[in-house]
Amino acid sequence: MATVHFYEKPGCLNNTRQKQLLSAAGHLLVIYDLLQHPWANDPAKLRSFFGDKPVSDWFNRSAPAVKQGLIDPDALDEQQAIELMVAQPLLIRRPLMEADNRRVSGFDEAEVDAWLGLKSPPTGKDLESCPRQSHAEACKP
């Protein structure tokens, strides 16, 4: 069992499902509001969640600015990406998780299972793409 610091968007259906999987496996969750967290005070901490992933993988592809073509994650460098995410936290791929001296972004069930352990084997379900994509309320702050 681990203590998992879990940065979420309150009300996000997938974050709720992800937290349920972690809790069912016996992990203690410390929940943070990703949208209200003061990332501007420590942008290096935000950067640390992305490890060696390509910059484009740091982004929430369901964020309105990305979906509308206002921001192209494939055209940004690290500094530009972090500056945009600090200004618009909806752009951050979530959840951000920290446990056992490791930080990650996104929720790949197999990766989380190998890292922390989940009660049941990975389902292969997409636990990151917003199930509300066709609705107007998708990914609103």
Q: Which residues are catalytic?
A: 12
3-state secondary structure of 106: coil
Amino acid identity of residue 119, one-letter, is K
- Phi and psi at 5, nearest 5°, equal -85, 120
How far apart are the C-alpha atoms of 120 and 7, rounded to whole Å? 23
Q: How far is CA 77 from the centre of its chain?
A: 19
Q: Classify burial at 56, counting beta carbons within 10 Å of its beta carbon; exposed 0-12, middle 13-18, buried 19 or more.
A: middle
